[in-house]
Amino acid sequence: MSSIEKMELVDITGPIASLDPVLRIIANAGCFHMETASKHGVSGTEQHSYKEENPYTAPLKMLAEITALCGMKYSARYDSEANTPDAAFMQSEISKLKKKAGKLKNEISDAATKLTKHKQALMQVEHLLGLDVDFQRLFNCEHIKIRFGKLPVDSYKKLEYYDDKIFYFLQLSHDDEYYWGVYFTPLSVYEEVDMIFDSLYYERIRIPDFVHGNSEDAVKDLKEHIEKYEERKRKAEEELSWLIAENQDKLDIYFTRLKGLHDSFDLRNKVNITKEKFYIVGYVPTSDKEGFEKLFSELSDITIMMKTCGRNDKTSPPVKLKNGKFSEPFGMFVEMYGLPAYNGMNPASLVAVTYTILFGLMFGDLGHGLCVSIIGALLWKFKKLRLGAVMARIGLSGAFFGTLYGSIFGFEHLLDPVYEGLGISFLPFHAMHNINTVLYSAIGIGVFVILMTMIINIGVKLKEKDYRSALFSNNGVCGIIFFGGIVGGLVSMLMGKNIMNGGYILLLLVLPMIMMFMREPLGCWVKGKKFHMENGAVDFIASNFFECFEFVLGYATNTLSFVRVGGFVLSHAGMMAVVLSLSDMYPNASPVIIVIGNIFVMGLEGMLAGIQVLRLEFYEIFSRFYSSEGRPFEPVRIDLDKNIE
């Protein structure tokens, strides 16, 4: 059965000199939910909280910078405190490594930049081979403008239209798309000539200043420089890889140690300080009580006081759900909706049972159910996804109901011989041949679930001593009588035996409705208090009239919501009938159609059924008795997965 873990309220006091060791123990315990001590009314004089800058942030940031430089990742690696240097030494070592890594990274970056520039220049100059003139001499011309570049083949043919213009285009090479070359023009008319070549889509090539000699000399020189920069880049990369490999273990130890010191130091924000002592308050699960106390056995100057949190305590302990093996993964749905109060009810077992049964009813297919269960089991085993554990359970439910329906991958008659051989005449249950039975059964399930949740609500409210809600609300005793009276009357009419006579209507319908209408004054009467109408009799009558009307409407809509259960039973049979019809129409592709159709139906129906059952859980079940007022139990811990940016 599911329940809520009992909590111990923990007070830890001691001299300030022992604060850091205590915080490190707390951070590594994994079971201590720390509260802000100042909010718990600590007695003492001149209390204050720590507001110091964390001294371990700087070295962790340097480690993060090394990560950014080298692309390395840190993993948890522990060493004894005796073998681990102090924080100042670690920071000094990390700083040295960062400088070395930064220098090598700059060398790699500089070599890569120059390499890129020289490769680009080489690619351009290779198209200009044949120009037996020193590039620098051309650039130094005072009266002539020189433009290297490439001209589209179509534009090259148009140059003859500008024979009257003063320029000369020297073609050096060409291919199917471009002519590479250079044009010369006097300084006095270069602007006009530039406009002409721009209109011809001439793409200029910028020859860098580091290109010297003629085209052949420049190509040779560029290749030599490219080889030099490639070698320089390779050596720097090797040195950086060696530096990382040599120091990886050491940096892992430093990171693990510094992250522990950093996260435990951050806990000081929740500590209360007097002149000589510190005060820490928090919660520990009762099951971890003894183990937690033993962690402080070597600190003789520390005082630990524990008190089991009771039902009537003024404190608000955090909530940790305690679920059974079957219901544990369904706790995710409870957490999604909101945790119960510490003294409330954990509905995980109820969710586990109802979700599993309702999904199985809606998804019933032996083949599909086993597939979903296997996929879920694999997701849980290899990925530890709680949804996978849920799928493993509800898939088996789908397989069970699929066996009752006689459906195996959409084939509705494969199990007929089995049941005939066993002499079971009423199975398999073919949904498409019993549509009315399916829909009426779905409504019956809805009635049962609603009545069950009303009974649970009565128990919860009586436990909380909320007698008004337990007795006179729409989900209390009066609600059960009224709803049960309506259901009983309708069932009797369908069976041809109308039992709704005057006495029945008066006792089971009218009287409960009057009591729900008067629930507020009746609730005060039960508690021995006097009822006061805050806004007058007219407002009281009007508001309660419409609320009672809403109650009646809610009973109808909530019950009809469960028709969707029957609807999905029929939709599964309908969709698979379509798949099998398509396979009959195209016999050559029948195996492919059946496989793809089953995958599509299984995925689509599984997703929709899962969502619809969750909707029924939240809106039709939880809304009747469950109050999500709790806050999660979040033990402090060293988060090695979160780096310091």
What is the model's pLDDT at position 44?
Answer: 47
Q: For the residues 220-244, what does the mean pLDDT come to?
A: 89
Give the count of beta carbons closer than 10 Å to the beta carbon of residue 415: 19
Cβ-in-10-Å burial (0-12, 13-18, 19+) of 525 comes to middle
Mean residue pLDDT of the chain comes to 87
Mean pLDDT of 377-388: 94
Residue 224, CA atoms < 13 Å, CB-side half-sphere? 9
Lowest mean pLDDT among 139-153, 162-176, 209-223, 428-442: 209-223
pLDDT of amino acid 499 = 82
Question: Which ranges of 267-328 would DSSP assign to H, the alpha helix?
Answer: 289-294
The pLDDT of 90-108, averaged and rounded, is: 89
Residues 463 and 453: their CA atoms lie apart, in Å, by 15
Q: Which pLDDT value is given to residue 424?
A: 85
Q: How many residues does the chain have?
A: 645
User: Which pLDDT score is estimated for 593?
Assistant: 92
pLDDT top residue among 208 and 290? 290
Q: What is the rounded distance in angstroms from the CA atom of residue 510 to the CA atom of residue 489?
A: 14
**Could you tell me if 558 and 568 are in contact, meaning their C-beta atoms sit under 8 angstroms apart?**
no
Which of 216-220, 398-402, 507-511, 520-524 is predicted most confidently?
398-402
3-state SS, residue 374: helix
The 10 Å Cβ neighbour count of residue 12 is 26
DSSP per position, 465-490: T-HHHHHHSTTSHHHHHHHHHHHHHH
Mean pLDDT computed over 513-537:
81
Tell me if 602 sits within 8 A of 310, measured CB to CB. no
Q: Report the percentage of the chain scoring pLDDT > 90.
A: 33
**Mean predicted confidence (pLDDT) in 54-74:** 83
Nearest to 523 by CA among 477, 459, 554: 477
pLDDT of residue 45: 45
Q: Where in the chain is the domain with CATH 3.30.70.2750?
A: 133-213
Give the integer Cα–Cα distance in Å for 618 and 333: 9
Q: What pLDDT shows up at residue 314?
A: 67
Determine the topology of domain 3-50+271-319 in CATH: Alpha-Beta Plaits (3.30.70)
Is the model's pTM score more than 0.85? no
Quote the CA–CA distance of 172 and 160 in Å, as a whole number: 18
Predicted pLDDT at 312: 60
Among 32-36, 140-144, 216-220, which range has the highest average pLDDT? 32-36
Output 136 or 506, whichever has higher pLDDT: 506
Which of the listed ranges 205-214, 245-254, 267-276, 612-621 does the model predict with the highest average pLDDT? 612-621
Angle separating helix axes 435-463 and 348-363, nearest 10 degrees: 180
3-state secondary structure of 307: strand
Residue 4 has phi, psi (to 5 degrees) of -115, 130
Residue 104 φ then ψ, to 5° = -65, -40
Q: What is the pLDDT of residue 206?
A: 80
Residue 26 to residues 467, 547, 568, 635: CA-CA distances in angstroms? Answer: 43, 51, 51, 9
Mean pLDDT of 603-619: 92
**Residue 67: predicted pLDDT:** 83
Structure tokens at 621: 């079940």
The beta-carbon contacts of 576-584 under 8 Å, at least 24 apart in sequence, are 576/365, 576/407, 576/409, 576/410, 576/412, 576/601, 577/410, 577/432, 579/410, 580/410, 580/411
Task: Name the pLDDT band for 518 (thresholds 50, 70, 90).
Answer: confident
133-213: CATH topology is: Alpha-Beta Plaits (3.30.70)
What are 434's two structure tokens? 């019993």
Average pLDDT of span 389-411 = 93
545: Cα separation from own chain's centroid: 44
pLDDT at 313 over 70: no
Predicted confidence band of residue 82 (pLDDT cuts 50, 70, 90): low
Instruction: For residue range 28-43, list pLDDT tens digits in order.
Output: 898 999 998 877 655 5
Q: What is the mean pLDDT of residues 44-52?
A: 57
As annotated, the residues of the chain forming the CATH 3.30.70.120 domain(s) are 3-50+271-319
The residues near 590 (Cβ < 8 Å, ≥ 6 apart) are 583, 584
Q: What are φ and ψ of residue 2, in 5° steps?
A: -90, 145
Res 289: pLDDT? 92
pLDDT of residue 133: 74
Q: Which two tokens stand for residue 28?
A: 């590594």
Burial class from Cβ neighbours inside 10 Å (0-12, 13-18, 19+) for residue 462 reads middle
353: confidence class by pLDDT, cuts 50, 70, 90: very high
Angle in degrees, CA 173, 175, 180, rounded to 5: 35
What is the Cα–Cα distance from 214 to 217, expressed in whole angstroms?
A: 5
Question: How far apart, in Å, are the Cα atoms of 56 and each of 23, 80, 437?
Answer: 15, 19, 69
How high is the pLDDT of residue 645?
A: 55
- Number of Cβ within 10 Å of residue 550's Cβ equals 11
pLDDT above 90 (res 377): yes
- Mean pLDDT, rounded, for 360-374: 94
Give the CA count within 13 Å in the CB-facing half-sphere of 355: 30
